[in-house]
Amino acid sequence: MTGSSGYNTTHGQSERRRSESIPMDLWAKCTILATGSFVSMLTATVINAGLPALGSAFGQSFDSIQWVATVYILAMAATIPASGWLGRRFGVTVVWLYCLAAFTFLSCACAIAPSISILVAFRILLGLVGGILVPTTQMQLVLLAGPGRLGRIMAVLGLPIIVAPALGLSMGGALLSWGDWPALFWINVPIGFIALSCGWKWLPRVEKMQVEKLDVLGLVVLSSAIPLLIWGLTELTHSGGQGNGVYGLWAAGMGTVFLSVFLFYAIRTPGAILKVRLLARSQLALSACVILAFGFVAFGAQIALPLYYLFVRGESADTMALLVLPQAIGIGVALPLAGWLTDKDWGSRSLVIGMALTILGTTGLALAEVHTSNILLGSLLFLRGVGLSMVSMPALTGALVGLERENVPNAVPLMNVLNRVGGALGTAIVTAVYAAGKTNLDGPAAALAGFSRANWTLVAVVVLSLVPAIALAIMEFRRTRRQTQG
């Protein structure tokens, strides 16, 4: 079954070699799709620069206005599980187009919201739609690319997903200097309109697939579990064990219970909204372990790194933003290389190399002192960025490349959920370790001790994830040798 995209996961090695070149029209389609993901991810961070302006405009405290940012993230997490069923039921391309159209319209609605309550309501709707854009983009890229080109094509998607959060604060500041807070939402309109127009004209329509009845029970449980877990762990992180920590503990506990109930249910239910049974496949299960660990390390590192520059070195927020840039540059530089290696059947082996680089960079940061040179720190961050890039791309591609066409919409939401859960765990645990490391110390010395322990925790997680990574590399080596001999 190949469908309108011409993609078939059962191609042999000779077909894969014929498919290695990527024509310009395919690059153009991938750019259109990546633009949709870019605007979804940009909206998640650009609003942070405008929170003070929103508070002044609506006469709200920072704690109240912060919900404008928070509800978007939680709503995005809630709709990821439904993206696979929607893609199979209505066609992935159609879902992507209508979600992008709704996203553009809701951005206009947010820009003209007359009150904070209406703005929050529109942000929830915006997040519900935005949460579907990224996984449906990934589904289409897999179906368009074919197995011999998937690594390089997925790298196209990886760049805007990485660049958008990095640009968020700086772009938000520039927009606020040009206009008021509505500009933070108006920016989505021309980008969304251009991507929607191009997509409507040039994207091939991926056909509908056979779909079972919507698993309403599983959807409700899982779509409650993930936001509760993320919000609860975030509240625990911010509270430091005090104040709203009791609400965070309650939410995280309920999220964990709901998630456990769903897993028990999904293993026994063939038509579950999230196809957990796919983890019975060894390659996908091993890739899932790596993706979970990657989410932990990537999000945990984002928590620990600013704490070092702000509280150990005493840098300003603007200076800190520049000093952490080498890690983002390392990720961006290495993504095309990781994609190319993946398409050359070196994905899992480059994954192990990426983990080694991540361990080296993070170990160096764990050993950093108060006056460690910025050149050395920048080099370590660049090294870790390259490592993280060489982990994320092969892990996701390895999970998807061997799947039957009909299982692509099932696996993509599963990998996204694992990444979100890993990120929430990384955020909470790294913050807790950082706080515990400061015990009996004061000032920069306390912050440095916490930062060091936080990085050693990240190193430990990467070392543990080497086990599934090495297993994947062995499987890849044996598969390549059999193909060569055959």
Tens digits of residue pLDDT in 343-384: 887 778 889 999 999 999 999 999 999 999 999 999 999 999
307 and 454 share a domain?
yes
Report the chain's mean pLDDT, rounded to a whole number. 86
Please give the C-alpha separations between residue 131 and each of 79, 81, 135, 314, in angstroms, as whole numbers.
6, 9, 8, 36
Closest CA relative to residue 278, chosen from 391, 392, 402? 402
249 exposure class (CB count in 10 Å sphere: 0-12, 13-18, 19+): middle
46 and 186 share a domain?
yes
In a domain, 426, yes or no: yes
How many C-beta atoms lie closer than 10 Å to residue 360's C-beta? 15
State how far the Cα of 367 lies from the Cα of 276, in Å rounded to an integer.
40
What pLDDT, on the 0 to 100 scale, is given for residue 267? 94
Closest CA relative to residue 140, chosen from 299, 6, 285, 297? 6
In a domain, 12, yes or no: no
Closest CA relative to residue 355, chosen from 421, 294, 268? 294
In a domain, 267, yes or no: yes
pLDDT at 145 > cutoff 50: yes
The boundaries of the domain holding residue 255 are: 215-272
In a domain, 15, yes or no: no
| Number of domains into which the chain is organized | 3
Radius of gyration of the chain (CA): 22
Tell which of 255, 272, 289 closes a domain.
272
Query: Are the C-beta atoms of 127 and 72 separated by less than 8 Å?
Result: yes
198 and 257 share a domain?
no
373 and 457 share a domain?
yes
Query: Are the C-beta atoms of 169 and 48 separated by less than 8 Å?
Result: yes
137 and 261 share a domain?
no
Tell which of 178, 207, 236 closes a domain.
207
Tell which of 186, 207, 228 closes a domain.
207
260 and 388 share a domain?
no
267 and 305 share a domain?
no
- The CATH number assigned to the domain holding 450 equals 1.20.1250.20
pTM here is 0.84
55-91 as b/e: b if 16+ CB within 10 A: beebebeeeebbbbbbbbbbbbbbbbbbbbbbbbbeb
State how far the Cα of 433 lies from the Cα of 303, in Å rounded to an integer.
11
Q: How many residues does the chain have?
A: 486
In a domain, 463, yes or no: yes
Those residues whose C-beta lies under 8 Å from the C-beta of residue 268, and which sit 6 or more positions away, are none
How many C-beta atoms lie closer than 10 Å to residue 13's C-beta? 15
Residue 404 binned pLDDT confidence (cut-offs 50, 70, 90): confident
